[in-house]
Structure 1
Amino acid sequence: MIRFVGAGPGASDLITVRGLKIIKEADVIIYAGSLVNKELLEYAGKECQIFNSAVMTLEEVIQVMVDSEEKGLDTVRLHTGDPCLYGAVREQMDILEQKNIPYESCPGVSSFCGAASVLNLEYTLPGVSQSVVITRVSGRTPVPDKESIESFAAHQATMVIFLSTGMLEELSKRLIEGGYQEDSPAAIVYKATWKDEKTFLCTVGSLAMTADENKISKTALIIIGDVLSRGRYERSQLYHPNFSTQFRKGVSE
């Protein structure tokens, strides 16, 4: 059995209980290089074989899985955050299906959740934003034209932008072309929940300058939106005394 496991956003104690149990029982672990906290590997058994996928191709990763399966070993593919976001897992799963090798997934806490916790931020403030756009800037690997930064920016929803720290001048330009202002609230969260995490509140127009001044060039999330301003927002109806739910009858004024 191949088990895809989300390692969480960084801190070793933010992996799920299920994920930790799977790691402890693994015979083979293939982990995603510097993106996964190596403290998690300390929970592996003494006989566990450990491979760093940062120096491997897809074909080499699959070969380790195939070899392990032939030996009747339990293999863990340990991805950062939750594998469903920028984890390149579908291509692995498709090959495993072609080879009739069983697999399953264990979700993890995504770094976009970790970033919110670091900032004590709610992405979906009533009356401000009720949607979160998770995306990235097109770089060495493309993004579909229909998912351009400009098109998403036009909605003025909360945006969480992955894998784009090295292209912040372009990102700012495209956000402004899409409808944001230069002084629209923004944040840079470096290595959320890791011991060396850093956060910087800034504006859309000052993203590149803020990153340069603080020597941030990778492993950071960019957050855009009015939820960062912590200004006016509407009270949640769910807990309003006049709002009835299945479990509580509202009291009219």
Structure 2
Amino acid sequence: MTVHFIGAGPGAADLLTVRAVELLRKSPVCLYAGTYLDPEVLGYCAPEAELLDTQGLDLDEIVEHCARAHARGADVARLCSGDPSIYSALTEQKRRLDARGIPWDVTPGVPAYAAAAALLGAELTVPELTQSVVLTRTRARSTAMPESESLANFARTRATLILHLAITRVRTLAAELSLEYGADCPVAVVYRASQPEQQVLRGTLADIADRVEAAGLRQAAVILVGRALADSLDCAQSHLYDPARDRSHLTR
């Protein structure tokens, strides 16, 4: 028996990996985060599978369900929104499973920020403009942030910034980020990327809060900030594809 942590992607059922689909089909138990999941994803589960929405459970209760499945030798598909490598509580769940001797593995998924960038048709790393992407969040009703990871510290890099779990504080954040990025810096807010109700708001740090508040967005949205998001860019050419690059050693 194994608990399979599976990245459910941004929500769309057709963005799951082939491995994820196979695990869902053969797992007798599926624990899923219903808040962010398109119900079509559960269509990959067997008709007789036990389905449990975990949004009302704490971690100990979730692990207890895994332990019960383990006792009867039933695999568990533990669906996480996006990719398990960020903001999935994977570390805490692994620790509890290890303490009980319950095996587990991880199957990656499409992260929400990647789905958002695809919807925007944006490359987040543009030659000589920005070559780094910062994935972070802010604190509201959530776990404290490390002191070294303040938004101001990240803003000084002027890298493409991806903010999760921050939509309710967009006005405060936009004002703070304007100090480093400039009020005219492009911003995009993507709500439920890849799902039927997906929504894209584009603007600048000066006006994005007005747009978000007018749309009434309160959850399930990713905020992207940076010059790489501009509609048109006259950027430098990547060295990898530059015609002037010496490729003779590649054809020997």
Q: Same fold (TM over 0.5)?
A: yes
Gap runs ≥5 in structure 1: none
1:247 equivalent to 2:244? Answer no
User: How many correspondences in the alignment?
Assistant: 248
2:184 is aligned with 1:183 = yes
Residues 172-223 of structure 1, C-alpha deviation per residue, up to 9 Å, x if partnerless? 122124x121111111111111111111110112121010112222111101
After TM superposition, give the deviation of residue 248 of structure 1 in Å. 4.7
| Alpha-carbon separation, structure 2, partners of 1:123 and 1:217 | 25
**Structure 2 residue identity aligned to 1:102:** P
5 Å matches for 1:196-235? Answer: 196-229=197-230, 230-235=232-237
Over 3 Å counting, the alpha-carbon distance change for 1:227 and 1:248 in structure 2 is farther
Deviation at 1:110? 0.2
In 1: Cα distance, 2:5 partner to 2:250 partner: 38
Q: State, as a whole percentage, how many aligned pairs show the same letter.
A: 32
Pairwise CA RMSD: 1.2
- Farther off after superposition, 192-201 or 123-132: 192-201
Q: Which runs of 4+ in 1 moved over 4 A?
A: none
Q: Say yes or no: does 1:65 pair with 2:62.
A: no
Counterpart of 1:195, as a letter, is P
Distance in 2 (alpha carbons) for counterparts of 1:41 and 1:57: 21
Distance 1:133 1:244 in 2: 32
Residue matched to 1:15: 16
Q: Give the aligned residue type for 1:45.
A: A
**Maintained 8 Å contact 2:30/2:51:** yes
Given that 2:202 and 2:208 are in contact with CA atoms closer than 8 Å, whether structure 1 keeps it comes out as no
Q: CA deviation at 1:5?
A: 0.2
- Hey, what's the Cα distance between the residues in 2 that align with 1:215 and 1:11? 22
Q: Distance in 2 between matches of 1:67 and 1:248?
A: 58
Q: Distance in 1 between matches of 2:39 and 2:246?
A: 48
Which residue in 2 is equivalent to 1:41?
42
1:192 corresponding residue in structure 2:
193
- Give 1:173's aligned residue: 175
In structure 2, what is the equivalent of residue 143 of structure 1? 145
Question: Which residue identity is paired with 1:135?
Answer: T
The alignment's TM-score, normalised by the length of structure 2, stands at 0.95
Q: 1:33: Cα distance to partner? A: 1.3
Q: Is the 8 A contact 2:187 2:205 kept in 1?
A: yes
| Aligned counterpart, 2:57 | 56
